Structure formats: structure tokens, C-alpha cells
Structure 1
Amino acid sequence: MDFDQPGMFTRADALASGYTDDDLRRSRADRTLLSIRRGYFVRSAVYRTLDSSSQHLLLAKAVLSDSADDAVLSHVSAAVLHGMPV
């Protein structure tokens, strides 16, 4: 199954697009998809093009979207979010 999402997407996004949990499982097994954290995915080909700061930013955004509304990023994650050199 071809996941054509250009960035990070959630399990809910994939299901809404017609993919199944089996599709996600198979795509992770054959390394077409990479799991950023539980329920958050990115195409492996896209992830490989990112530098380490951009990879960190994906994880930070996934964590933040699963957090309380008043949660904030700090330290390295905040620096990466604001485009500061790390």
C-alpha cells in the first residue's frame, strides 16, 4: 500500500484515508513507514531526507499533540521548534 502523505500523520488520519491497521503494521514491517511514537507515522523515505533537528521536531510535535492544551516544549525541543541552532 502506498502512503503518499508528505509529512507526519496519525493512525486516525490513515484510517480516515481508507488504510487499515493491517496496512500500517505491514508497512512498518517492510520499513515503508516509520513510527515516530505510538500512533504517529512518517514515510521512511521522507524521514531519511530530514536532518537530526527536523527528525527531533517531528517527535516533539507528536508528543505535544498528545499532551494537555497547556503543555509546552522546553530546552532542545523548544530551540528546534523556534529554529534556533542546536
Structure 2
Amino acid sequence: MTIPRQGRRDRPDPAGAAFPHGHDPHDRNIRLAPSFPVLDDVQTAMTGVATCIALAAAEDLQARHQTERSTPDDASLELA
């Protein structure tokens, strides 16, 4: 016998559900905790997570590269 959680039947938890009353104060967390997902769903979700991580890393690397190019280092000052 399955007991529904507080009257919510077969509905996914809203974003921020890992926080009290579903309020994520910084709006930056995603809860990845389905009850019994099929393997195909887990693989799809992890592909999405991996893509987000790769994109964040690429954006960080690009920002660092642009910062390094815009500020001269000591060696370039000596050549001037």
C-alpha cells in the first residue's frame, strides 16, 4: 500500500522542494531525487547535468582567458 505525501499524487516536486516550504533562498539548487526512476531517465538526467557542468566550466575558462588578455602582465610591460 502506497501512502501519498500530503495529498500530492503522482506530481513531481516543485523546484526548491529540498528546502522548507519549497523556498530556495538563492534559487540555485535542483533536487534530483525521483523515487524509482528507470535507468533511461537517469541517463537522460545525468546527460543534462553533465552538459550544464561542461557549459559552466567553459564559461568560467572563457572569462578567465578574457581577464588575462585584458590585463598586461609584467613581461609585456618590460618589452614596452
Q: TM-score, normalised by structure 2?
A: 0.28
Q: TM-score, normalised by structure 1?
A: 0.27
Higher relative CO (Cα under 8 Å, sequence separation at least 6) belongs to 1
Which structure: greater strand fraction? 1
Rg comparison, structure with higher value = 2
